[in-house]
Structure 1
């Protein structure tokens, strides 16, 4: 069993001042996919530049040929399925069918209320997500969709010619709770997790692995509940949010050790953040590139 290596490029650089070069370099380094966050701004970066996900990915599609592209993750916080479907079909067309949609219920961070709404409770986020995903699925697979929901509706929404990828571009569903995992089992081609957030500050690597083992087990149970085989499901870990976040990018050996332990849990793809100086994602650029080339070769060997 092999493990793919991908990266996240946060949209914090102007396109002609280093932004473009990062996406080109990601392809040169052999990453499987390069993702970006789909936010209006994010945490410590909120006082600086932050560009839109879909336009950035569209530009990246024009300067790459093989690299897959995606969001980690898009959420209902400031998206409507009808408009999002049109943008995704266009992006899939421009890229020649290289797009994966990472999608999640969203959180209550500061940009979750940027459109003026009150912060949604966890239950309301789950309710909205449960309606958002099936409607988006239909919009990306059917030529015309009409649907009346509690939160999201579509009236003769046309999406011709549809995605280049058939029947639609793949969904990578971020979920750890029972409702989200059922959505992943029913609609996802991949599952995404960042680990257990309660272990971010004080947890140990062993506790993190045990928490992830539990999440994988609950995913398998969700598949069994609907009678679907779990094995084709890609399992993606977005790194940088587990107890090893400060050590795993120190060397190729450290990363390979980290990756091997997660490969044993059944993960098929690890995603590492492209370094950003003076941030939570600061790392040695040369080590990052060595990991991309040398660790990737070991993990896929």
Structure 2
């Protein structure tokens, strides 16, 4: 990818990708490897732009079933695919530290030949990963502080061969990242967050921005959810203006699995949703790989049509 020539070396992910709506998938790390290998390869054959995976240790209704490590699974996926972009959707400070995470991401970028995108978020405030290491859940203020510090150190680590930094929560002493990322000056980082601080952080350091729809309240229906996304995009543009950045250089991603109703009840509905998202300014929509008897159950034939035919409907 090219850089914007500003001296900061920001990767212009949006400029590189914006050729029409991109359609990607989230593949949960729930499959034993023989099946998982076929799933990742099939995602590539179907033409998905990217295959992401959740970076949790366990998650919601899947907590008592199989759930594998995200970094090893992405490493394996990198070795059995050639074109598919790969990444986290998202990783967080809940159980990650920037120093070993940066080393893992650098290695993933090498294994994949420069196809890794790091999706990063503040993480869940309750349950699941929030207390898995045995400590208390963080307050909202501490979580926001940690997220900002985490992202800033991760950004530095992925750019520099040697990083020393002392923070309140995260530090590095002579942390070596050699030879560095295949993608220069570092692999793309897509940041999740819809509050003022999260939007500002994405504007300052992100190559992309991720939303799941309305934050902090349930949407009444799909129209209400898309209106909330539109408001988020407006505030994101304001955050970009505040730091002197063109918002068009920020790749904008909608993770669709938490939208209300049945946005993918039919192919026509999928086209309608993607068209509405594109008009708002979304560049990429992400659809969960179907998991029967789960919140992500979806007819497999319809899912295949979404990956193979939807981009052509919106090019």
TM-score tier, shorter chain, comes to over 0.9
- 1:267 corresponds to which residue? 282
Residue 285 (1) aligns with residue 280 (2)? no
Would the aligned equivalents of 1:199 and 1:242 in 2 still touch at CA under 8 Å? no
CA distance in 1 between partners of 2:66 and 2:152 (Å): 33
Residue 76 (1) aligns with residue 93 (2)? yes
Consecutive aligned runs of 4 or more in structure 1 exceeding 4 Å deviation: none
Unaligned runs of 5+ in 1: none
- 1:127 corresponds to which residue? 145
What is the CA deviation profile of residues 195-248 of structure 1, one whole-angstrom value per residue up to 9, with x for unaligned ones?
A: 114554x5122211211111001101110111111111110000011123xx22
TM-score by length of structure 2 reads 0.92
Identify which of 192, 209, 222 aligns with 2:210. 192
* Corresponding residue SS for 2:280: coil
TM-score by length of structure 1 reads 0.96
Identify which of 217, 226, 229 aligns with 2:243. 226
- 2:128 corresponds to which residue? 110
Would the aligned equivalents of 1:61 and 1:69 in 2 still touch at CA under 8 Å? yes
CA distance in 2 between partners of 1:71 and 1:295 (Å): 23
* Corresponding residue SS for 1:264: helix
* Corresponding residue SS for 1:240: helix
Would the aligned equivalents of 1:252 and 1:294 in 2 still touch at CA under 8 Å? no
CA-atom RMSD, angstroms? 1.1
| Residue 110 of structure 1: how far off its partner (Å) | 2.3
* Corresponding residue SS for 1:132: helix
- 1:44 corresponds to which residue? 61
CA distance in 1 between partners of 2:155 and 2:307 (Å): 33
Identify which of 20, 23, 39 aligns with 1:5. 23
CA distance in 1 between partners of 2:73 and 2:179 (Å): 23
CA distance in 2 between partners of 1:84 and 1:209 (Å): 33
Aligned length: 296
| Residue 68 of structure 1: how far off its partner (Å) | 0.1
Q: Which has the higher contact order (CA 8 A, sep 6+)?
A: 2
